Amino acid sequence: MERAGASGETRRSVERLALSKAEAAEALGVSVDFLEEHVMGELRIVRRGRRRLIPLSELQRWLDESSARTLGQ
């Protein structure tokens, strides 16, 4: 997919493989505080310097496992 940048040049859009905490919280529909308190402890994340990246596959895994637990009750 291509889109125009601020200078009018065409840039290719790259599919994201990982998100920041704020982006992950938004993707799940929760606050960053909720993500940190209830979700982050169950996720494998990538740490590089001060950056913390949450792979999309980890968010999907967490959703799949969390929803499976409630179905069994």
56 in a domain, yes or no?
A: yes
Task: For residue 72, give both structure tokens.
Answer: 């069994």
Q: How many domains does the chain have?
A: 1
pLDDT in tens, 43-59: 999 999 999 999 999 99
pTM of the predicted protein model: 0.74
Q: Give the three-state DSSP class for 52.
A: strand
What is the C-alpha to C-alpha distance for residues 26 and 28, in angstroms, rounded to an integer?
5
Domain CATH for 47: 1.10.10
Give the tens place of pLDDT for each residue, 22-36.
Answer: 999 999 999 999 999
Structural domain that includes position 52: 17-71
SS (H, E, C) 10-28: EEECCCCCEECHHHHHHHH
- Residue at 10 is within a domain: no
Asked if residue 2 is part of any domain, the answer here is: no
Residue 23 domain-assigned? yes
